[in-house]
Structure 1
Amino acid sequence: MMTVSAIKALVDEGDARADTSKVPRLSTDFLNRYSEALMLIELAADDDGVVDDLRAWRSVTYREHFEGSPLRCTPSALAAYDRLAPACRAGFEDLCRAMSRLVETATALLAERRVGLEPATIVEVASDALRRQISRAAQFINANGTVEIGNVESRVLQAEIDALLAR
């Protein structure tokens, strides 16, 4: 995993080669959607009513998020997204789908309340995995899509989800 300073070095290197006022930038505002889901998952261990809020949570794509957004950064965020190399965009979209599946799986498990599967365990596993995935997505966005997002940790995440479901 890249450190913040390594990402900053990559961004600074890219910025040195371009006029940053003219270079469209990706925006982390999109990740607020997943941060909200994370907060709800963490609250669900102590409050059964939060599960209804989690059921109402919906995943949207990066493009959908900004197409419906009044933020000033919207044109830049969409332009930067359009400029991503297809493989980079696909890796980011795969990561977003993995985060959405995690939220949906945690929601289903918290709603089901299976005997032997404590809500605290679900919350612990799901929140840790989601926090790591949000961090990876933030690194990608902060580097303006110039870092390799990779799929290795996504497979690890899916294995964690599968193990949780097997309990």
Structure 2
Amino acid sequence: MSAIATNVPVDAPANRAGSVDAPRMSTDFLNRYSEALMLIEMAALDDTVLADLQAWHSISYREHFRSSQLRCAASALAAYDRVDLVRARAFEDICLSMTRLVRTVCALLTEKPQPPELPMIIEVAGEALRRQIGRATQFINANGMIDIAIFEDAALQEEIDALLAR
């Protein structure tokens, strides 16, 4: 017999935070940003990839799993619904920051003529995006139980701000 994760009573043993059967968030969502990172790094070497990068778009964690066919989708949504609102907002802010970074690099790649410092911008943006994905991964792997804001890296934020100012 199976049960849909969202229909199990909150006080059921399977829903305790440490339980193996408790709803878990899923890093599958972050594949979207990993794809953007790969496209950014490839676009620097191959102009034909730019169209794929321009077609890339972000969606929220909830939107991703609502439309997902993955078996873990219901559990991922149930787990996210349990995340403290302040922590969930901090996670969403990181996702927004990653999206802005991808969009900024995409805009720079479409500029004609391309800025001479573009290879350096791509390198810095790639590293910044990689670190942000890492932070989001930590949050998801902790099932939203960590304060992602404490992982704020001032140097990383300065790099992102500098890129966005260009």
Counterpart of 1:19 in structure 2 is 19
Deviation for aligned residue 1:123: 1.4
CA contact (8 A) 1:91 1:151 kept: no
Share of identical aligned residues, percent? Answer: 59
Relative distance call for 1:143 and 1:152 in structure 2 (3 A) is closer
SS at match of 2:152: helix
1:102 and 1:72 mapped to 2: Cα distance?
A: 31
Q: What are structure 2's unaligned runs of at least 5 residues?
A: 1-14
Counterpart of 1:101 in structure 2 is 100
1:122 and 1:138 mapped to 2: Cα distance?
A: 24
The within-5 A match list for 1:123-142 is 123-142=122-141
Which runs of 4 or more aligned residues in structure 1 lie more than 4 Å from their structure 2 counterparts after TM superposition?
113-116, 154-158
Residue 25 of structure 2 aligns with an amino acid whose one-letter code is L
TM-score w.r.t. the length of structure 2 is: 0.82
1:64 and 1:17 mapped to 2: Cα distance?
A: 24
Deviation for aligned residue 1:151: 6.9
1:125 and 1:113 mapped to 2: Cα distance?
A: 21
1:52 has 2:51 as partner: yes
CA contact (8 A) 1:30 1:65 kept: yes
1:96-124: CA deviation from partner (whole Å, max 9, x where unpaired)? 00000000001001111555433311210
1:97 and 1:154 mapped to 2: Cα distance?
A: 16
CA contact (8 A) 1:110 1:122 kept: no
Counterpart of 1:71 in structure 2 is 70
Deviation for aligned residue 1:69: 0.3
TM-score w.r.t. the length of structure 1 is: 0.82
SS at match of 2:88: helix
Deviation for aligned residue 1:41: 0.4
1:166 and 1:138 mapped to 2: Cα distance?
A: 27
Deviation for aligned residue 1:76: 0.2
1:79 and 1:17 mapped to 2: Cα distance?
A: 12
CA contact (8 A) 1:38 1:131 kept: yes
- How many residues align? The count is 152
Q: Which has the larger radius of gyration?
A: 2
CA contact (8 A) 2:37 2:129 kept: yes
Q: CA RMSD in A?
A: 2.3
Relative distance call for 1:155 and 1:112 in structure 2 (3 A) is farther
SS at match of 1:150: helix
Counterpart of 1:5 in structure 2 is none
Relative distance call for 1:151 and 1:58 in structure 2 (3 A) is farther
Residue 57 of structure 2 aligns with an amino acid whose one-letter code is R
Q: What are structure 1's unaligned runs of at least 5 residues?
A: 1-14
Deviation for aligned residue 1:164: 3.2
